[in-house]
Chains A and B, each alone.
Chain A
Amino acid sequence: MHSKSTRFLSCGAILLLLTIEAVGQSLKCEKDLNAYQDESYRIKEVRVDTPLQWLFGSVEKEITEILTDPNMPLKKDDNFNKETFNNGYEFLRTHFVPLTVSKSERLKVRISKPGLADCDDQAKTLAVVYHVYTFSSSPYLMRAFDTGRKEELKRSVVDANGTNALANYFPQPQIGYDRSRAIFAGSKVSLKQPGTFLDVISLTGTGSSSSAVGIAEASGFQDWAVGKIRHAEYQFRYSYLNLPGDNTKLKQGLGIAQFLASTRPFGSWEMMIRFGGIIEGGNKLSDLDPSGIATDNLASTRVGSVKAFIGANLRFGKSAQAIKASYGLQLGQTGEGVHLDYTKQIFDSAAALRFPVGDHRSFTADFQFTLGSIHTLKQLPVAERFFGGSDEQNFTLSPAWVIRSNPVIRSFAQNRFDRNSSNGIRGGDRFVSTNVTLAFTLWRKPLVPSEIVDDEFNAQAEFGLNFAESVLKGEHLKETPQFKEMAKEVEPLAKAIEGVTAELNRIDSSTLPQAVRDQITLVRGHVADARTTADTIAKDLKESVPKTGDIRKLVVGFPAVPVDSQVTTIVNDLAALIAMNLPTNQLDQKREALEQARKAMADSFQNLLTSPVETAAAAKAKRDMAYPRRVFSQLVNDANIVAVSPVAILDTARLWQRNVTGDKIRFGVGPGIRLTIVSLDVTAAYAFNANRQPWEGRGAFVFTMQASNLFR
């Protein structure tokens, strides 16, 4: 579940956070605002509390600029005053950048509320804190078991121009340690160009005295809000890897192209099915002595292969326990030409379970079970064999879909779990591995302070999410055949409007009294308005879908304003016209026909709004919002901005090598500590090799960074 690409260490940030925590023991403010005003408390600080602003310099800068703006009503060192406190909040609120959504972040919610902190009754000082929380939902990434990891970091930060720039250009220093690689360091630079064929271009390079990794990658994606397939992505990568094992070097230079797609979530468990494929070609090399490899294995060779994979992930229960399972098949060849030399099959499954056990505390249990098998028909590159250890290898290219393809046992350094005898051949033909990680929140600081989460806060949040759900319901309703059928009633209505126009043309004459002619002009104006709306509906019906608002405007009206429907206005105008002294005409029949057509369409519309079709659209919108609602609730009620948890790890792994006996189960057992920063878990542990063989080490240090299971 950890990979080299995610091993960047934000030591400075973490230390900063811990320092802030150490000195940040706040004093409670339990009095009324009036009391602090009456007792002339001095404002010793004005700050904005938005998660992770310290991590994003641009957000910090933007917030500082607002707070130090000369027009900001509330200032440090002023005496506390309720009016300026409220005005300061209003000033801040109106200076935030409006929320912007995109195909990959279709919903955003921002909730803000001012408060007081650090009230010192002795010194008569206090701090004014403006709490601002932003939440956004990506239908694919946030549902995927393996998230894009660092994407989550940005989500809870307040939107600012700088954050957007950061999202498009994201340099990440990377540093890590592994016994095989020793200390390695490097950098990853991502350049995002949203909306283009290649949305992201990234370059990664890390190295150490014994290893080197270089990856150049370009990728694009497409998300859809409707239909069975909701997400598709493609990636092109060239990778150079030079990674050491136990007295071994495994090298490869590969060109790879990948496509994958994901369905919409199905059912109450939100099951999402994913599938994809890879074509790759290049070289796989090792420096193994021929005596250390099987007879039908090649130490160094040209390779080419195709891979296909399918998997599903789902969520169940109140705490959204997450489960995934994936299967991958690889057909490979060595050398030139097109022929099948070997097949590889992988089955990987995992569960991320979380049990709340108190206010912002939880017990988490992560399980993973992986199987792998290679069948050699002719020849097999040694580097394709299974090399186990603390680092996982991903069968896919996507960090959002990890299919583990090697035995992970954290008591071994990278690639060092590779044989069953002291001088035997390297790499396995089959393996099975299980991993268990248990953790309990010992100390935490809630992301959203409990004291601001009152009924009013919850009501506002609920209001926002309900608004989004109502919009979605309307959109889903518009997509139904029944809605389109109802909208077709605009045709007889348009004819009835034409009938009125024709009759007006027939009776209109310069000999009519001026009052009558004025009334005819008034009717003509309203007829033109109605015709424009009817034409818009008819056009939308042909090209896409009409708007519910246009139908209301045309035939139902808005009683709340109140505003009559456009057709009702014409009908009333005609009634007034008919009451005037007119020559013989058919206006009354035309008026009746128009009212009948209006009533028919209005009734169809209203009936649709109380029909099972509307219920189904509402249910669909509810399903769409189930995940954002749950994650929002978890952010508010469960998430911690920082938490510390003791960790226990228990791994087992077994490697089989053809014609070699001694395939004993190895164990990795040990304690550790986890630092959680919102949705990112940083775990440090030591795993002992409990069934150690003479040629193996005592154990290995473990250091991982991964997305917390809170949002999986």
Chain B
Amino acid sequence: MATTKPKKKKGCTPISIEVAILTPDDKHQINFGLTKGCNPDDTVFWIIDFLLKEQKGDKMITRVEVHVHVGKEKEKDAEKLSKTKKLSDEAIDLLNTLAAERAKQLPAGTTNDPQLNKLVSAAISS
């Protein structure tokens, strides 16, 4: 995409992308974010953000909002995903169904749920 490619410096530099899209039926808003973070020793960690809003009346209501730190075992998948630059159809369906349903079951304010983390992390390896 770029016309200029500067020399890449050694070490890790964080970067983040967030995408929001309104589905053609105008009833759902899906936000998906992928963040590469850096540890002090220049190793990488990944964060996935997922937000699903649904139209209720004339307002978009947040149905699901999750921010998941990808576990060590999935880091390679996250890195691969960042390189292949594509989330599979199965992954999108997984986020929209099982992950969304699990998030809805959790009490408000839950910040860490292993099952939800597993589902969202699985999205990057599907």
Where the two chains meet, the residues of A that have a C-beta atom closer than 8 Å to any C-beta of B are 32-34, 82-83, 86, 89-90, 93, 98-103, 106-115, 195, 225-226, 359, 450-468, 470-476, 479, 544-545, 547-550, 552-553, 558-561, 563, 609, 633, 636-637
Pairs across A and B, CB under 8 Å, 11 listed: A86-B40, A98-B18, A100-B60, A106-B21, A108-B19, A454-B5, A456-B13, A460-B15, A461-B17, A466-B85, A552-B94
Tell me if B64 is interfacial: C-beta within 8 Å of chain A: no
**Which A residues touch B36, using CB under 8 A?**
456, 460
**Which B residues touch A110, using CB under 8 A?**
17-18
Cα distance A195–B15 when bound, in Å?
Answer: 35
**Which A residues touch B108, using CB under 8 A?**
none
- Give the Cβ gap from B112 to chain A, nearest Cβ, in Å: 15
**Which B residues touch A472, using CB under 8 A?**
21, 23-24
Cα distance A467–B50 when bound, in Å?
Answer: 12
Query: Which single residue of chain A is at the shortest CB-CB distance from B101?
Result: A553
Cα distance A108–B30 when bound, in Å?
Answer: 11
Query: Which single residue of chain A is at the shortest CB-CB distance from B49?
Result: A98
Tell me if B113 is interfacial: C-beta within 8 Å of chain A: no
Tell me if B34 is interfacial: C-beta within 8 Å of chain A: yes
Q: Within B81-99, which residues are at the interface with A (CB < 8 Å)?
A: 81-83, 85-94, 96-98
Q: Is the CB of A101 within 8 A of B2?
A: no
**Which A residues touch B123, using CB under 8 A?**
560
Q: Which of B3, B15, B93, B98 contacts A456 (CB 8 A)?
A: B15
Known A470-B87, A561-B98, A561-B122: A33·B9 in contact at CB below 8 Å: yes
- Give the Cβ gap from A337 to chain B, nearest Cβ, in Å: 45
Q: Which of A103, A455, A549, A636 contacts B96 (CB 8 A)?
A: A549
**Which B residues touch A33, using CB under 8 A?**
9, 11, 13
**Which B residues touch A115, using CB under 8 A?**
13
Q: Is the CB of B1 within 8 A of A462?
A: yes
Tell me if B6 is interfacial: C-beta within 8 Å of chain A: yes
Query: Which single residue of chain A is at the shortest CB-CB distance from B32?
Result: A467
Q: Which of A453, A470, A559 contacts B89 (CB 8 A)?
A: A470
Q: Is the CB of A89 within 8 A of B14?
A: yes
**Which B residues touch A83, using CB under 8 A?**
40
Q: Is the CB of A93 within 8 A of B58?
A: no
Q: Is the CB of A560 within 8 A of B6?
A: no
Query: Which single residue of chain A is at the shortest CB-CB distance from B1?
Result: A458
Tell me if B20 is interfacial: C-beta within 8 Å of chain A: yes
Cα distance A195–B21 when bound, in Å?
Answer: 18
Known A98-B31, A467-B32, A636-B1: A548·B18 in contact at CB below 8 Å: no
Cα distance A462–B58 when bound, in Å?
Answer: 32
Cα distance A547–B88 when bound, in Å?
Answer: 16
Q: Is the CB of A475 within 8 A of B94?
A: no
**Which B residues touch A106, using CB under 8 A?**
21-22
Cα distance A704–B112 when bound, in Å?
Answer: 56
**Which B residues touch A454, using CB under 8 A?**
2, 5-6, 8
- Give the Cβ gap from A483 to chain B, nearest Cβ, in Å: 13
Q: Is the CB of B98 within 8 A of A451?
A: no
Q: How many residues of B contact A (CB 8 A)?
A: 60
Q: Is the CB of A114 within 8 A of B92?
A: no
Cα distance A107–B3 when bound, in Å?
Answer: 24
Q: Within B41-62, which residues are at the interface with A (CB < 8 Å)?
A: 51, 58, 60
Q: Is the CB of A101 within 8 A of B13?
A: no
- Give the Cβ gap from B98 to chain A, nearest Cβ, in Å: 7
Q: Which of A226, A458, A467, A559 contacts B126 (CB 8 A)?
A: A559
Known A111-B15, A459-B82, A549-B97: A359·B3 in contact at CB below 8 Å: yes
Q: Which 8 A-B pairs have the closest CB atoms?
A: A560-B126, A549-B97, A225-B24, A99-B20, A549-B93, A464-B19, A101-B22, A464-B17
- Give the Cβ gap from B99 to chain A, nearest Cβ, in Å: 10
Q: Is the CB of B8 within 8 A of A455?
A: yes
Q: Which of B26, B29, B39 contacts A225 (CB 8 A)?
A: B26
Known A459-B83, A466-B87, A558-B122: A32·B11 in contact at CB below 8 Å: yes
Q: Is the CB of B14 within 8 A of A461?
A: no
Known A33-B9, A561-B98: A476·B24 in contact at CB below 8 Å: yes
Q: Is the CB of A109 within 8 A of B2?
A: no
Known A455-B8, A560-B91: A113·B15 in contact at CB below 8 Å: yes
Tell me if B104 is interfacial: C-beta within 8 Å of chain A: no
Cα distance A456–B16 when bound, in Å?
Answer: 10
Query: Which single residue of chain B is at the shortest CB-CB distance from A621?
Result: B24
**Which A residues touch B13, using CB under 8 A?**
33, 113-115, 456
**Which B residues touch A100, using CB under 8 A?**
20, 29, 60
Query: Which single residue of chain B is at the shortest CB-CB distance from A194?
Result: B58
Known A86-B14, A113-B14: A558·B94 in contact at CB below 8 Å: yes
Q: Is the CB of B38 within 8 A of A86?
A: yes
**Which B residues touch A476, using CB under 8 A?**
24
Q: Is the CB of A552 within 8 A of B90?
A: yes
**Which A residues touch B94, using CB under 8 A?**
549, 552, 558, 560-561
**Which A residues touch B8, using CB under 8 A?**
454-456
**Which B residues touch A467, using CB under 8 A?**
19, 21, 32, 86-87, 92
Q: Which of A98, A475, A548 contacts B24 (CB 8 A)?
A: A475
- Give the Cβ gap from A39 to chain B, nearest Cβ, in Å: 15
**Which B residues touch A32, using CB under 8 A?**
9-11
Known A550-B97, A558-B94, A561-B119: A609·B89 in contact at CB below 8 Å: yes
Q: Which of B17, B29, B119 contacts A463 (CB 8 A)?
A: B17
Cα distance A359–B118 when bound, in Å?
Answer: 45
Q: Is the CB of A453 within 8 A of B29?
A: no
Cα distance A33–B8 when bound, in Å?
Answer: 12
Cα distance A495–B93 when bound, in Å?
Answer: 25
Cα distance A195–B96 when bound, in Å?
Answer: 27
Known A463-B17, A552-B93: A561·B118 in contact at CB below 8 Å: yes
Query: Which single residue of chain A is at the shortest CB-CB distance from B2?
Result: A453
Tell me if B73 is interfacial: C-beta within 8 Å of chain A: no
Q: Is the CB of A547 within 8 A of B16?
A: no
Q: Is the CB of A108 within 8 A of B20?
A: yes
Cα distance A107–B21 when bound, in Å?
Answer: 5
Cα distance A195–B57 when bound, in Å?
Answer: 12
Cα distance A700–B25 when bound, in Å?
Answer: 52
- Give the Cβ gap from A711 to chain B, nearest Cβ, in Å: 17
Q: Is the CB of A101 within 8 A of B1?
A: no
Cα distance A474–B92 when bound, in Å?
Answer: 9
**Which A residues touch B91, using CB under 8 A?**
560
Query: Which single residue of chain B is at the shortest CB-CB distance from A451?
Result: B6
Q: Is the CB of B34 within 8 A of A463?
A: yes
**Which B residues touch A113, using CB under 8 A?**
13-16
Q: Is the CB of B15 within 8 A of A453?
A: no
- Give the Cβ gap from B46 to chain A, nearest Cβ, in Å: 12
Q: Is the CB of B17 within 8 A of A637?
A: no
Q: Is the CB of B51 within 8 A of A98?
A: yes
Q: Is the CB of A459 within 8 A of B4?
A: no
Q: Is the CB of A457 within 8 A of B15?
A: yes
Q: Is the CB of B14 within 8 A of A90?
A: yes
**Which A residues touch B38, using CB under 8 A?**
82, 86
Cα distance A110–B118 when bound, in Å?
Answer: 26
